[in-house]
Amino acid sequence: MNIIMLGAPGTGKGTIAGILAERLQIPQVSTGDIFRKHIKEGTELGKLAESYTSKGALVPDDVTIGLVENRLQEKDVQNGIILDGFPRTVKQAEELDKMLEKENKKVDIVINLTTPEEEIIERIVNRRVCSNQECKTIFNLQLNPPKQEGICDKCGSELVQRKDDTVETVKSRLNSYFEQTSPLVEYYEKKGKLYSAVVSKSINKLGKDVAEDVVKYIEENF
């Protein structure tokens, strides 16, 4: 099963994708992870990606598409993948469809998450992430605090705040997201692939609740 996670920063994509990966036994893969892997290994694609990310620039579509295409060839994703952070544009979505068609595969479901903007900002500035790249468990100082301050419950590593998890950066990222990615919602809606869900404390629906709903939906429909 091939799943795409859509949603602005702070809507809980990573949390929900992690639960789905565990329950459905398919890997969760983010474009950020792919970039870091290639940059660390010093591949040609990694060097090309780093030439943009080191300047704070967006990695062009053709480079990102090449990295994802390369990742889709690896053994661990042959039975399915949960893509978080890709596609970000309609062009990338069209290219992903072509990549999968070559393998007689398709996008099965696109999970579109929405959260009120003020909650997103509050959630992100309180977010802490495990510094262990093998773990990467996400905590929230208000919604899901660690048992011991500054320490990951799962592996005992230090928890860190991402450099761009500030109010100003979040607002900028939200604007970019809505401008660039909103057309994707329409693209997948027309294809009948879209599953939309609200993640909000105002309706008592957090990431783990939505993940359970999605698992139930998949079990009943696929």
Catalytic residues: 13, 88, 127, 162, 173
Q: How far is CA 104 from the centre of its chain?
A: 24
Nearest to 27 by CA among 40, 18, 14: 18
Cα distances (Å, whole numbers) of residue 220 to 26, 113, 144, 184, 213: 18, 20, 29, 25, 11
- What is the torsional sign of CA 152, 156, 162, 166? positive
Structural tokens at position 217: 């939906």
CA gap 46, 176 in Å, rounded: 24
Cα distances (Å, whole numbers) of residue 49 to 43, 45, 188: 10, 6, 27
